[in-house]
Amino acid sequence: MEILKYILKRILQTIPLLIIVSLISFFIIRLSPVDPLAELKLNPSVSKETLQRETERLGLDKPIIVQYGKWAKAFLRGDLGITSNGEQVSAKLKERIPNTLLLTVIVIFLSWSVGVPLGVIAAVNWKSPLDRILTVLTSIGMAIPSFFLAVLLLILAVKTGWFPVGGLTSSNFMDMSFSQKVIDVTRHLILPVTVLFTLSLAGLQRQMRANLLDVLDSDYVKFARAKGVGEFSVIYKHALRNAVNPMITLLGFEFAGLLSGAALTEYVFQYPGLGRLILEAVLKSDINLVMASLMMGAIMLVVGNLIADILLIITDPRIRQKNGGQA
Amino acid sequence: MKRIFYIIITLSIIIFVTKACIKQDIPQPEITVLRPKTQITDVEYPADQKNVSISGSDYLQSQAPVGSFGGTLVASTIGEGPKTFNPFNSKDNISSLMSDIMYDGLLTTHPLTGQPIPKLAKSFEIENHTDYIIHLRKGINWSDGKPITADDVVFTWKDIIFGGYGNTSIRDSVIIDGELPRVYKIDNYTVKFVTPKPFAPFVSLLSAPIAPKHVFEPAVKKGRAYFDTFLSTNSDPKIFVTSGAFRLQEYVPAQRVVFARNPNYYMINTQNKKLPYLNKLVYLIVGDVNNEVLKFEGGELDVIGLQGANVARFKELEKHSDFTVYNIGPDTGTMYLAMNLNTRRNDEGKFYVDPIKQIWFQDKNFRTAVDYAIDRKNMVLNIANGLAQPLFTAESLNSIFLNKNLPTYQRDLYKSKELLKKSGFYWDKSGKLFDKFGHRVEFNLVTNAGNTEREAIGVMVKQDLEDLGMKVNFKPIEFNSLVNKLVSTLDWDMVIMGFTGSPLEPNGGKNVWLSDGTLHVFNMRLEKDMNSKRFDFENRIDYLFTQGALETDFHERKKFYDEYQEIVYNEKPMIYIYSPLRIYAIRNKFKNVFPTSLGGITYNLEEIFISKGGN
């Protein structure tokens, strides 16, 4: 019951936040000097009538505040509007969301299932050669910019021919059997996943290691050890539980990154994901598409934080207590 | 001891890193620029396609060598991919390309001569300069087996195009004095178009795609809003009924468009087998040029358009690779330098152009001096890697209307200075240029930021003009602001821009050249200024463009456009710079590749086949 009340409160808090986000982004896009019709205006074969029609169709002849009002009204009804090419924004997003999810879910799954254990191992074997090696590797991973690593891997793909150069499926994908399709998609995914995995693994491993080291240094761990509790039990039962809290907050942010995240990597690998779509939309000032993606990002961030908070309530009795106390 | 060790290690790392940089500073040995020959060589073109009747069906027979069936050609498009597959809705090049593959027009242009030739039509005649009689092929079918008849043609023109459905650019350009042409069905296989007045560009518009009535009619009946979404990129490929060599098989957003062979296509080879040879045609959608090049090198692409530095590299690779590089001549776009000839005032009573500068820009001697000061050859060599041709005319170099009598010339500073002196300009001791009223010659030059080619040209123009003692403030500005300056606020002095052109139809440039055109950049008239005074040469160009559109005989017509090019050449409202060359690479396994300057490299997709025995 307390939790439900808390969730409701949090959801209500997000409403003004979303309104402010939408207002700021709408006005910034519209006030930027990008004219969605500039290309058409400079094409000798486009008639004045066509330009006039396009202006009216995109609603550019009305003041910004009216445009915003129209957009907000439609958004509330669940209508994301149409792109500057006349396609449904929702259909456009639907095409891309599965691809982006496929990539990000794999990356998050891999980096968490590898990064967290590696962090624990490094912390437990603090200052051992293994820890040192991991430190060097993760430092490298954090230092390489994602687009640079992506370009390096692309060159590898071209030179060796082991991997396809970007994309998600081969051109004869439709004629393949199911198992061939799985192999084809896997081959295409290896490089982008490697890039994103390297980056997020490094961060996660460092974070986990630092958290656990902090906890291992605390008094209650020393006390447990002094009491003669077994080392295994000290680390995995007492220390790890306390060290994992900041990681849960981090998980909330990762959730927000599910649908945005990797525009640069997607662009270099020509991956048909949301990041590329949105990048192109921003460059063309395709307002409905940009707004839809920004709102999606904001909502995902809010939801991610909410999930993290709920998880924290479940894992951390202290927070549970505090909330209970307030209510 | 340990510390010394660390210092040595750090130092050696620094040395290694800087070593790499030092090497860069040493001048590299001169790279020889490999320039492909300026014309397409060693291509033997097959004879023209013929009409052949076999058991009541009128086929189009390719005269190219007979090839083997099967295989896939993978090409690419840069950008976001098609926005619609409806040929009447397309507003961008990629969408038009996709629909051109699927829907044939009545006529097409001859890839070598640029003259209209029948395609979906069997033949056509023009009578009295206004009547276009089109004979259709008998016994040819849509991809779903239904016959292609006069009803489809009449429906397409009368209901879709003249009805104002979709993109109305064709309709807008055939309105002659407020009146649309009329279209009549004579019998099942004959259609007649009548234009209210003789109108030469009409024949090239007959290459517009023809829609299957039985598929498009229901969509038209549902109204314009529905038609705008009809055959969008979300449509099921199965509902496409086409007349072209291929039909849509699959569209994967942001990845590729796959076309499959149309088994009912009306073109046959000399053994009377139905074309096309290829089973599939794939267009990969790639985000940028670099990725496209990588994909070609990785073997995922079969044909690619090349630019700049890549050309030299590919030419080098060509020797031991499986592709051939073709140079198909100058591009259809034109790059120009224009001065603002505007003498009017804006709403606040202020001059668009500073009156002091107006005197210079209005002076033909000044414009000519600028023209002679520009070193086109140097720009071609340094900016376009030698892969371009200097341009002196308003029509592009591969245009069939190009006026070939206008001589080209070299940079001539002496001549420039003579011309300036004639108009009373003088130089002070330090070489600065002043006009006869003692004003320092200083103006702004703008172009769009982000276009590295135009920015480079801007820098070189600035240097060239500074040799004349002018002070040029070169400012690349953001594309949208630039367009706004050019078409609305009009507060600019000199600009470097480019227009796309058509090598077949000069009338497409009427928005630029008519004195009330929407893109009459060098002397743009806004709504309120429509009746302002014209220059004599503007009046003459207005006349030439109006008359040129009315004349249907090619040679008679060319005289009008020759004269307009000559006027622009002499008056120099726009100073043309250069046209880049178009270079393509295609894999050797593809045969029947006959690149032409007008058609490009894969215009004859029906005839292209993959040779079985390697090379």
Q: Is A207 found in the same domain as A111?
A: yes
Over 60: is that where the pLDDT of B301 sits? yes
Which 3 state secondary structure label does DSSP give B365? helix
For the residues B439-465, what does the mean pLDDT come to? 90
For an interface test with B, which of A95, A103, A171, A285 has the most B Cβ atoms less than 10 Å from its Cβ? A171
Residues A34 and A150 in one domain: no
When CB atoms are compared, the residue of B287, B479, B486 closest to A276 is B287
Supply B136's token pair.
């259709």
Residue A270 is nearest to which of B169, B249, B286, comparing CB atoms? B286
User: Binning pLDDT at 50, 70 and 90, where does residue B26 land?
Assistant: very low
Q: Give the mean pLDDT of B499-523.
A: 86
CA distances from A309 to A265, A320, B268 (A): 30, 10, 70
Token code pair at residue B551: 């004349």
Return the ∠ at Cα A146 (arms to A141 and A152), rounded to 5°: 90
Interface test with B, best of A32, A42, A52, A84 (most B CBs within 10 A): A42
What b/e string do you get for B323-346 counting C-beta neighbours within 10 Å, with b at 16 or more?
A: bebbbbbbbbebbbbbbbbbbbee
Query: Which pLDDT score is estimated for B34?
Result: 43
Structure tokens at B595: 């690149």
From B488, which residue of chain A is nearest by alpha-carbon distance?
A: A41
Per-residue buried b or exposed e for B279-293, using 16+ beta carbons within 10 Å of the residue's own CB? ebbbbbbbbeeebbb
Please indicate, yes or no, whether residues A97 and A237 belong to a single structural domain of this protein: yes
What pLDDT is attached to residue B29? Answer: 44
Distance CA B87, CA B102 (A): 9
Pick the more confident residue, B206 or B24: B206
Shared domain for A304 and A253, answered yes or no, is: no
Out of A267, A283, A299, a domain closes at: A283
Q: Which residue blocks in B243-305 are alpha helix, DSSP H?
A: 289-297
pLDDT in the model for residue A44 = 64
One domain, residues A292 and A279: no
Element (H or E) spanning B610, and its range? Answer: strand B609-610
Whether B322 has its CB under 8 Å from any CB of chain A: the answer is no
Q: What does chain A come to in residues?
A: 327
**Distance in Å, alpha carbon of A197 to nearest chain B alpha carbon:** 22
Same structural domain, A133 and A241: yes
Specify whether A238 is located in the same domain as A99. Answer: yes
- The more confident residue out of A165 and B278 is B278
Contacts of A198 (CB under 8 A, 6+ apart): A141, A144, A149
Burial of B587 (0-12, 13-18, 19+ CB in 10 A): buried
Query: Which residues constitute the domain of residue A4?
Result: 1-84+286-327
**A window 88-117, beta carbon within 8 A of B:** 88, 91-92, 95-96
pLDDT band at A33 (very low <50, low <70, confident <90, very high): low
What is the tens place of the pLDDT at every residue in B187-237?
999 999 999 988 888 888 899 999 999 999 999 999 888 888 888 888 889
Whether residue B24 is predicted with pLDDT greater than 80 in this model: the reply is no
DSSP string, B467-522: TTT-EEEEEEE-HHHHHHIIIII---SEEEEEE---SS-GGGGHHHHSTT-TT-GG
What integer is the mean pLDDT of B349-377? 92
For residue B615, pLDDT over 50 is answered with: no
Residues A23 and A117 in one domain: no
pLDDT at residue B40, rounded to an integer: 52
Distance from CA of A21 to the nearest CA of B (A): 26
pLDDT at A255: 80
Give A209-272 as a 3 state SS string.
Answer: HHHHHHHHCCHHHHHHHHHCCCHHHHHHHHHHHHHCHHHHHHHHHHHHHCCCCCHHHHHHCCCC
* Dihedral angle computed from the Cα positions of residues A38, A43, A44 and A46, in that order, rounded to the nearest 10 degrees: -80
Put simply, whether B226 touches A (Cβ < 8 Å) is: no
Residues of chain A with Cβ-Cβ distance to B233 below 8 Å are 87
CB pair distance less than 8 Å for A171 and B499: no
Residue B225 in contact with partner chain A when CB distance is under 8 A: no
A136-181 pLDDT tens trace: 988 888 888 888 888 888 888 888 888 888 788 887 887 888 898 8
Indicate which of B294, B321, B395, B478 best probes the interface with A, i.e. most A CBs within 10 Å of its own CB. B294
The one-character DSSP state at B245 is S
Distance of CA B525 to the CA centre of its chain: 26
**How many angstroms separate the CA atoms of B342 and B524, rounded?**
7
Query: Residues A226, A142: one domain?
Result: yes
The tokens describing B274, both together, are 């139905």
Cβ-based contacts of A173 with chain B (< 8 Å): 252
- Predicted pLDDT at B119: 92
Q: State the average pLDDT over residues A73-89.
A: 80
Contact check, Cβ <8 Å, A166/B295? yes
B484 touches chain A (CB under 8 A): yes
pLDDT at B36: 46
Distance CA B155, CA B12 (A): 79
Confirm or reject contact between B592 and chain A (CB < 8 A).
Answer: no
Contact list, A51 vs chain B (CB under 8 Å): 518
CB pair distance less than 8 Å for B287 and A154: no
CB contact under 8 Å between B253 and A86, yes or no, is no
With helix as H, strand as E and coil as C, how does chain A read? CHHHHHHHHHHHHHHHHHHHHHHHHHHHHHHCCCCCCHHHHCCCCCCHHHHHHHHHHCCCCCCHHHHHHHHHHHHHCCCCCECCCCCEHHHHHHHHHHHHHHHHHHHHHHHHHHHHHHHHHHHHCCCCHHHHHHHHHHHHHHHCCHHHHHHHHHHHHHHHCCCCCCCCCCCCHHHCCHHHHHHHHHHHHHHHHHHHHHHHHHHHHHHHHHHHHHHHCCHHHHHHHHHCCCHHHHHHHHHHHHHCHHHHHHHHHHHHHCCCCCHHHHHHCCCCCHHHHHHHHHHHCCHHHHHHHHHHHHHHHHHHHHHHHHHHHHHCHHHHHHHHHHC
Identify the weakest region by mean pLDDT among A241-250, B37-46, B359-368, B501-510.
B37-46
Q: Report how far residue B314's alpha carbon sits from residue B329's, in angstroms, rounded to the nearest whole number.
A: 17
d(Cα B374, Cα B461) in Å, to the nearest integer?
6
The answer to whether residues A13 and A25 belong to one domain is yes
Look at A33 and B480 and tell me if their CB atoms are within 8 Å. yes
Query: How many angstroms separate the CA of residue B450 from the nearest CA in chain A?
Result: 13
Structure tokens at B120: 């979906």
Q: What is the DSSP string of B197-222?
A: S--TTHHHHTTSB---HHHHHHHHHT
Residues A94 and A167 in one domain: yes
For residue A95, give the CATH number of its domain: 1.10.3720.10
- A46 chain-B contacts, CB cut-off 8 A: 169, 511, 518
> Is A41's CB within 8 Å of B483's CB?
yes
**How would residue B1 be classed by pLDDT, with cut points 50, 70 and 90?**
low
Contact A45 B511 (CB under 8 A): yes
Cβ pairs A/B, distance under 8 A: 120
Q: How far apart are CA B373 and CA B382, in angstroms?
A: 17
Q: Which of B16, B597, B36 is nearest to B313 (CA)?
A: B36
* A124 to chain B, closest Cα gap in Å: 28
Query: Are residues A226 and A295 located together in one domain of the fold?
Result: no
| Cα A103 from Cα A93, distance rounded (Å) | 15
Q: What is the mean pLDDT of chain B?
A: 87
Region B47-72: mean pLDDT is 89
ipTM of the complex: 0.78
The number of folded domains in chain A is 2
Distance of residue A94 Cα from the nearest chain B Cα, in angstroms? 11
Tell me, yes or no, if B479 comes closer than 8 A to chain A by beta carbon. Answer: yes
